[in-house]
Structure 1
Amino acid sequence: MFFQELKSLLNGCAALAVTLSSGREGAITVTVRPTPKDAKDAEALAIPLVLTGTAEELDAQFVGLLQSYAEEHQSLAEQLEATRNILEAAKKDASKKAEGAIRKSAPAKMTPAADDDNDETETPEVVGGQVEDNLFA
């Protein structure tokens, strides 16, 4: 049963570290530290399970507590993923709205006004001197 519960917790993680240390008066401290698959989840999902008790207490209760921890860990992972999906959808929606607002506020293309004169271009007269190129003609 112990390894089956560890396996269920390990399914959502890249790695799982289990540390045992001895304490006062025969107590044992068990630390179960998951390493999330995604580095950006490390802070939210890497909270360890730390239990201290006698060997008898741990034999009687450890698997049940580990099972509860695994369920909570999975629930947190699912909530985190759902929150990411909501935020991503909100970003896309905001981006689309911003693009639409930019399009609406862009100035309309100007069309040249119709000239009543004929379409022939006028050549400037040269009055005694050098002709300069006109960039605006």
Structure 2
Amino acid sequence: MVPVQVSKGPVNVIKILQKAGHFAFFTRLIKSTQEDIQLFSQLNDSRDGVTVFAPTDGAFSAIIKSGVLNSLTDHQKIELVQFHIIPRILTIANFQTVSNPITTLAGSGSRFVLNVITTESMVSWSVVISSPVVHDFAGYNER
């Protein structure tokens, strides 16, 4: 998660991730799937906001085998981005009481499982994505 200061004017996730650094891979994926348009709309046209679990470049390179991303269909790439987005704002305090598994924009159930583990000052999560094409992501952990 990337902490964001409240700003006046429209919120742009791409600019936030670029400013934070180390999210180039995820930023390119968001832009290539055009999910940045949906994020912009969700952030600026609703009161619910979003929570983005933005994997760092290091996390992506550690879990994605060479060529796997290129083998995904456009729809699977969109699901991969959506899996990292919760369609509401969750603060650290909210994470203390949230029920697992958490529903993301990609949905929930046996195919997409996002579980959150919290302490007083840290949120970590474990991910299981079960699909013939993206099974390489099973067991992905980001802290």
State the TM-score, normalized to the length of structure 2.
0.26
More helix by share: 1
State the TM-score, normalized to the length of structure 1.
0.27
